[in-house]
Amino acid sequence: MDAAITSKMQKHYPVLLKEIISIISPQYGGTFIDCTFGQGGYTKKILEFDKTKVIALDRDPESEKVALNLQKKYEDRFKFKNLKFSHLKNLKIKNENVRGVIFDLGYSYTQIKDPSKGLSFDHVGKLNMQLGLNSFSAEEAINKLDQKELEKIFKYFGDEKEGKYIAQNIIKKRIKKIIDTQDLVKIIDNTKRRKNFKINNSTKSFQALRIFVNNEISELIHGLINAAKILKKNGVLAVVTFHSLEDKIVKYFFKSLSESRSISRYVPLTEQRETLFDVIKKKPITPNDNELNQNPPSRSAKLRFAIKKKDFFNFETDIEDKFKNLLEIENFGKKL
């Protein structure tokens, strides 16, 4: 890899920061929920505006170290919770004027290079992949799930076309416990028949395992539902995704709650259900050339946002039914 690119990757860049700030308009004040605090990029920028308050969440306890410094600087305007964003409903914010809820579904260079997390196929580390507040690790999944379960994880969470053969070879090799990232990388490399020179052989399988270990499908679905509930009228729900599965879920959630879908063609328009969101831009916002040059990993980022039309709390969504098959695969983890 080019040294300049490597150097850029070692610095944390909040993706699509200018676009996020433009959309949520913190200059008008209000409370903002940063659901994926990480290194604090979005939060720091929002707090530069005097009339703002930020409640930040992150499941990774390491983020609390960054948060402590901000807490000292913005004592009255910043709070941090080591919490999964699916638990947004547990925040006591009834009297808060929530003007924006932000999700950045990527993970930082700090997390990638941490060998104890085992997120990277380029580093030797424990086969862990836990981002915080987890029930099991990737090592437990690889060594305990059966072949069909592993195959489904690779196929549906990673779009890995050779997931069946990777799963078969994992079962064969785990007579001796598979314990670190490079053990798994070797199995994948020896399995893949079609070599792709654009992406590493292990990219899709590692993505699939990370999604599974961290329950990222149910986390996202319940995070979106709860974010939509706590937003005030004209508040913005903004989500940055980094792979097609995440984007598909966000796109469906926004689309299904912003369009009047007829239950029956015989039901008149006046009786159609009320919609929750306005979606101004149908297509996602992507990084410009300048950002891509500064931060090459941002190339896969997509930003979608929706504006809440009314203050009502309860609404119906069929998103769990829509992605039922993915949620059922996540449930394999309950046996670990």
- Strand stretches in 86-219, DSSP E: 98-104
Digits of tens for pLDDT over the chain (336 positions)?
Answer: 333 333 344 566 899 999 999 999 999 999 999 999 999 999 999 999 999 999 999 999 999 999 999 999 999 999 999 999 999 988 888 788 999 999 999 987 777 777 778 778 878 889 999 999 999 999 999 999 999 999 999 999 999 999 999 999 999 999 999 999 999 999 999 998 766 677 899 999 999 999 999 999 999 999 999 999 999 999 999 999 999 999 999 999 999 999 976 544 444 554 556 899 999 999 999 999 999 999 998 999 999 999 999 887 788 899 999 999 999 999 999 999
Q: Against a cut of 0.85, is the pTM above it? A: yes
Can you tell me the distance from the alpha carbon of 52 to that of 38, in angstroms, rounded to the nearest whole number? 19
How far is CA 307 from its chain centroid? 20
Per-residue pLDDT at 11? 63
Per-residue pLDDT at 4? 35
β-pair type (302-308, 277-278): antiparallel
Q: Name the residue ranges covered by the structural domains of the chain.
A: 3-109+216-323, 135-213
Structure tokens at 94: 């009834």
Per-residue pLDDT at 45? 98
Sign of torsion over alpha carbons 1, 122, 199, 134: negative
Per-residue pLDDT at 194? 67
- Asked if 66 and 54 count as a contact pair (C-beta separation under 8 A), the reply is no
CATH number for domain 3-109+216-323, candidates 3.40.50.150, 3.20.190.10, 3.40.50.300, 2.40.50.1020: 3.40.50.150
Structure tokens at 291: 């950002």
The CATH number of the structural domain formed by 135-213 is: 1.10.150.170
